[in-house]
Amino acid sequence: MARYIFITGGVVSSLGKGLASAALGACLQARGYKVRLRKLDPYLNVDPGTMSPMQHGECYVTDDGAETDLDLGHYERFTGRPANKRDNVTSGRIYSDIIAKERRGDFLGGTVQVIPHVTDAIKAFVLDGNEEVDFVLCEIGGTVGDIEGLPFFEAIRQLGNELPRGEVVYIHLTLMPFIPSAGELKTKPTQHSVKELRSIGIQPDILMVRCDRPIPAAERRKLSLFCNVREGAVIPALDVKSIYDVPVAYHNEGLDDEVLNAFGITGAPAPDLSRWDKISNTIANPEGEVTIAIVGKYVELKDAYKSLIESLVHGGIANNVKVNLEWLEAEVFEKEDPAPWLGEVNGILVPGGFGERGAEGKIAAVTFARERKVPYFGICFGMQMAVVEAARNLAGITQASSSEFGPTSEPVVGLMTEWLKGNALERRAAEGDMGGTMRLGAYPAHLQAGSKIAEIYGSEEISERHRHRYEVNMAYRDTLEAVGLKFAGTSPDGVLPETVEREDHPWFIGVQYHPELKSRPFEPHPLFASFVRAAVEQSRLV
């Protein structure tokens, strides 16, 4: 029998509801429970696939090809449970489905309304497919009081009445600011946020209070009194040095105990958080450090590369070193020599991206890494730019480019119009819709025996997640391999390139997929572990 935990936020956005949900899921897992985490997003986009990373952050992709909110990355990294397209829904998806039903006549002439039709659709999403889990954690995006979130709050209010007593718990995450001029922590923002939540019929069972310093007992009693929450259920959510410290920190504050108390569950086994203690200790006590340059085009918003950042942390954990990140805007290298910027780094990573802006700067970074023998890791667009660089500078194809940038006489990278997904042929057109039309989700790949990347994986058969619309043109394969760029991995039918590498370089690998989406703190992705290891070796040569 599944029990439901609804996590809402108040006062301001970006308080870390996703991280709190993931950490609570990890704590419940550590007690032996099976958990599932879901995200309900109130915005009207059907999914984040068409949203700018500079606005929304990373678009996370699941094995089954869903483009989802970045919080699903936290869920997977903290619990190890693969998410799927049924774990993230938006207002846009809900309304799109309802309007399609109305056009078909499914409502038999009835008036279609927010209540009950929209709220019923939200409830159906929340309740679907939970037969095998003990707890379902549902995070509601946005902040209480946002007009677009009202149908979601109404839906979870209704579920509190419709499900059997004792099967629903509400957690509200708020902010307690410190006012330096007064020297005081202020409870009033949390009081107002809870008042807003109660005005729509939801009484929180647990308060999680984000704060940058310990909360005195008097302030906890005050929050308990004015928010109608048990004093023990006022949980300080203090800042920590690493996000991987959060599960232990929240457990020490009593979060998972209070959740079980709210459900009336007694006699639950104590959590085994030893692996989290080990991770925290490794991060806090590294044996060395390396510096990795990330040459990207969305570097002003680090959340655009959230999974990438965490994967490099995981690579550091695997090698017991701290990974320092040097964020570099690719456009800078279109006007300036990259040497002053890249001369002291131990590794260069060019991540995914879309569009022509910054492409020439990324190519310049590839050239620097190739010529100076600095470990290079190209992911998706970063692999494509490595191929274009080799075509131009080594194979003499001076006009080599990508059709993504416009018409070109040498489309070394071109629009992918059809490919196999399982036994089905997928087709796309250049003039088609942007949303949901890329090669998305997990696809198998075959790695050449004896290649560097096969050695790293320890296997010749792999499966990785993709998110791209353009592909390296295999017509140039022989020409590029003649100048040292080896196509070491392809789709099982040999039609689509998956990886490239250089044998004349200590560590130079490009991959068309996104390995960062499958890295976990307890299971660092082998490519990131190997890349950081190469950076450690490079640091010893400097």
pLDDT digits (tens, 9 = 90+) for 436-460: 567 899 999 999 999 999 999 999 9
Q: Do the bridges between strand 60-61 and strand 67-68 make them parallel or antiparallel, or are there none, so unpaired?
A: antiparallel
List the chain domain ranges.
3-279, 287-413+471-541
The residue from 253, 326, 501, 516 that is catalytic is 516
Angle between helices 91-104 and 150-162 in degrees, nearest 10: 80
Mean pLDDT, range 226-237, rounded to an integer: 96
**Tell me, what amino acid is at 245?**
D
Tokens standing for 428? 């796309």
DSSP state of 240: -
List beta partners, residue 40: 89, 140
**CATH 3.30.1490.20 for the 287-413+471-541 domain, yes or no:** no
pLDDT score at 419? 44
pLDDT of residue 469: 84
Q: Is the pLDDT of residue 418 over 70?
A: no
Nearest to 323 by CA among 382, 295, 364, 282: 282
Mean pLDDT calculated for residue range 78-85: 95
C-alpha–C-alpha distance, residues 220 and 229, integer Å:
10
Catalytic residue among 380, 389, 471, 525: 380
- Give 493-522 pLDDT, tens digit per residue: 898 999 999 999 999 999 999 999 999 999
**pTM of this structure:** 0.92
- Strands 497-502 and 508-511, sheet pairing: antiparallel
State the alpha helices, DSSP H only, in 200-242. 217-227
Q: Is 514 a catalytic residue?
A: yes
Please name the fold of domain 3-279: Rossmann fold (3.40.50)
Choice among 22-36, 212-226, 355-369, 509-523 with the minimum mean pLDDT? 355-369
Segment among 59-73, 171-185, 397-411 with least mean pLDDT: 397-411
- Residue 380 known to be catalytic: yes
